[in-house]
């Protein structure tokens, strides 16, 4: 596959590198794990095959050999050689055909799976691009040629696309399990955290979802923590008091207190698709 138009930020992503935090390596991997898994199912790939993760404005690819692809995640227009093609279903490309994945009409990130998976060397068992640690393939640029692995079983029905929730449109609701450092904040500010609206900040990225326009958390104690381990979904509170939800490329340690954790699952997938300006609420898990 030849990258004709790389888009704003298109990376190679699989299930990431779990188990290397002691080496300072984040998990990384696809942010919307449900959409990623669906894309692979649709083309008959094994669960851990590498796909492309686009951001907001899609990507354009040219098939250098016949391939089957599928696009999931953020809804978008899909075209092959300028003609409309299916979103959320297997699409066959002849050699020389161009696949255009258009801008997201909702959400942020689309996933492009190719039958056989995106190939190439793995780093610590993964082909994921890690923007924080700088591991894995480079961010895609125009002219990049992507290797494709050997094809697996036959693609499955596009009806599976109905089984993955779409991106949040009106509001993002994140369940929050308090701790381990909730006692570093006043009880009143923790209560406001769980009852007040926030907004997704434009400063959000693959490292974390930043918030704005909500009540800052107030400290109940002064001083700073020694750096301690961080996990996916940890809600860290920097000095401005506005919570940050750690996503796949998060640092493995941090010194700001963690007021709670958003459990892995559909809520974090939805956070990966939350556009700047979207209303956000934390609710007790």
Domain boundaries, the chain: 2-163, 171-284
| pLDDT in the model for residue 165 | 82
**Tens-digit pLDDT profile for the chain (285 aa)?**
999 999 999 999 999 999 999 999 999 999 999 999 999 999 999 999 999 999 999 999 999 999 999 999 999 999 999 999 999 999 999 999 999 999 999 999 999 999 999 999 999 999 999 999 999 999 999 999 999 999 877 777 655 555 678 899 999 999 999 999 999 999 999 999 999 999 999 999 999 999 999 999 999 998 889 999 999 999 999 999 999 999 999 999 999 999 999 999 999 999 999 999 999 999 999
User: φ, ψ for residue 267 (rounded to 5)?
Assistant: -65, -40
The correct CATH number of 171-284 out of 1.10.15.40, 2.40.100.10, 3.20.20.80, 3.30.420.40 is: 2.40.100.10
| pLDDT in the model for residue 154 | 72
| pLDDT in the model for residue 55 | 98
| pLDDT in the model for residue 51 | 98
Q: Are 269 and 37 in contact (CB under 8 A)?
A: no
| pLDDT in the model for residue 157 | 63
User: φ, ψ for residue 174 (rounded to 5)?
Assistant: -115, 115
């Amino acid at each position: 596959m030849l990258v004709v138009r790389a888009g704003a930020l298109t990376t190679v992503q699989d299930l990431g590198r779990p188990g290397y935090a002691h080496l300072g390596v984040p998990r990384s991997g696809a942010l919307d794990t449900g959409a990623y898994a669906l894309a692979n199912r649709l083309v008959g790939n094994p669960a851990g095959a590498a796909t492309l993760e686009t951001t907001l404005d899609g990507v354009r690819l040219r098939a250098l050999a016949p391939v089957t692809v599928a696009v999931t995640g953020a809804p978008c227009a899909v075209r092959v050689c300028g003609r409309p093609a299916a979103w959320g279903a297997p699409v066959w490309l002849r050699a020389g055909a161009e696949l255009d994945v258009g801008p997201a009409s909702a959400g942020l990130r689309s996933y492009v799976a190719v039958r056989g998976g995106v190939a190439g060397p793995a780093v610590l068992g993964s082909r994921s691009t890690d923007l924080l640690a700088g591991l894995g393939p480079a961010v895609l640029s125009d002219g990049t040629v992507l290797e494709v692995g050997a094809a697996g079983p036959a693609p499955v029905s596009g009806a599976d696309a109905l089984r993955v929730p779409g991106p949040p449109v009106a509001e993002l609701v994140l369940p929050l399990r308090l701790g381990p450092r909730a006692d570093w904040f006043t009880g009143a500010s923790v209560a406001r955290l769980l009852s007040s609206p926030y907004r997704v900040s434009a400063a959000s990225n693959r490292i974390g979802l930043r918030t704005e326009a909500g009540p800052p958390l107030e400290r109940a104690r002064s001083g700073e923590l020694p750096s301690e381990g961080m996990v996916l979904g940890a809600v860290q509170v920097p000095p401005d008091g506005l919570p940050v939800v750690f996503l796949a490329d998060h640092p493995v340690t941090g010194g700001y207190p963690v007021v709670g954790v958003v459990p892995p699952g559909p809520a974090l997938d939805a956070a990966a698709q939350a556009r700047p300006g979207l209303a956000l609420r934390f609710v007790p898990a």
